[in-house]
Each structure stands twice: as C-alpha cells, then as structure tokens.
Amino acid sequence: MVVYTTAKCGHCGENWTALSPNAPNTVFGKLGPPVIRCASCLKDNKTGYKLIRDLNPLEKLLYVKVKNIFGIIFSLVFIAMGVYTGNVVAYDESIKDPPSYFYLAFACGFIFFGAMGIRNNISVESDLDYTQELFDKNGGFVWSYEMYGI
C-alpha cells in the first residue's frame, strides 16, 4: 500500500480532486476514509485518515466539535458584518459613492456565506456518518469516485 500525500492515487497518479473541489471530509485533516481504492487502477491507498468512530474522545472533540464551533462563530461574524453593513446603508442617506446597492450586495454576500457556513458545519457529522456507511458497505474502503467524484 502506498500512502498518498495529496488527493491523488499513490499508485497510478490519477488526480482525484480534478472534478470535485468540495470533496467531503478531507478538509478536516484527520477525518475521512482510512483507505481509498483508486477507481482507475483498483489499488488501495492508505490515507492516514480515521473514521469518526475510530477517534478517541479527545480527537473527536478537537476535530469535530471545536472545528464546528469555530466554523459557526466565523459564520456568525460574517452574518454580523452583513447586518452591520446593511444597517449602515439603511440609516446613512449620504452614501452616494459608491452607491448604496454596492454595500447592500456586500451585506447580502456576507449573510449568504455566513448562512452557508453554519449549514455546512451542522451537516458535517452526517457527512462523516455517510463515509462510515460507504466504508462498511464496500468492505473496508471507499472508492475514489465516492470521495472525489471520479
């Protein structure tokens, strides 16, 4: 078994990330399927990741809860910035240059990304459960296309 360093097959060099920049779980560093089978050469790659059930309680706290909490705080800051920017526009009629819709677009953007962030952080655990299910269903590995889309 070859240990891969990036999202690439360690055997044939197939680049798994090409089509799916939003592959689940890899962003969490340690969380993900321990073995990914390359759909191109059918060989197994050890990832160094752990399934959520294999984490000890401290790791679980660090890699799941703390990151979620920071992610949610970060998202709330975005929303607060959006609301603040929106309020500035609503109460300050002197804003002409750049025009107020410019700020409103920013405000909506902040709120949108904040809301997405919260949604993503809440859905993290179900993604991880899904990875475990796939891992078990396949018999101890996850196909590269199941993780990365190819």
CB 143 within 8 A of CB 32: no
Cβ atoms < 10 Å from Cβ of 51: 18
Would you count residue 9 as binding Zn ion (CB under 5 A)? yes
First to last CA, the chain: 20
Which of 14, 78, 85, 135 is in the footprint of Zn ion by CB under 5 A? 14
Among the listed ranges 1-9, 46-54, 73-81, 106-114, the one in contact with Zn ion (CB under 5 A) is 1-9
**Minimum CB separation from Zn ion for residue 143, in Å?**
11
Report the greatest alpha carbon distance in the chain. 66
| Neighbouring C-beta atoms of residue 54, cutoff 10 Å | 13
User: Of residues 37-76, which lie at the interface with Zn ion (CB under 5 A)?
Assistant: 38, 40-41
Interface with Zn ion includes 90 (CB under 5 A)? no
Instruction: Please report how close the Cβ of residue 92 comes to Zn ion at its closest, in angstroms.
Output: 58
- Each residue 21-40 as x (binds Zn ion by CB under 5 A) or -, in order, gives -----------------x-x
Query: Which residues, at least 6 apart from 140, have a Cβ–Cβ distance to it below 8 Å?
Result: 35
- Between 14 and 114, name the residue whose CB sits nearer to Zn ion: 14
CA–CA dist 6, 11 (Å, integer): 12
Please work out the total of residues on this chain that contact Zn ion, with binding judged by CB under 5 A.
7
Residue 49: phi and psi, rounded to 5, are -80, 165
Kindly tell me which of 14 and 146 has the beta carbon lying closer to Zn ion.
14
Positions in the binding site for Zn ion (CB under 5 A): 9, 11-12, 14, 38, 40-41
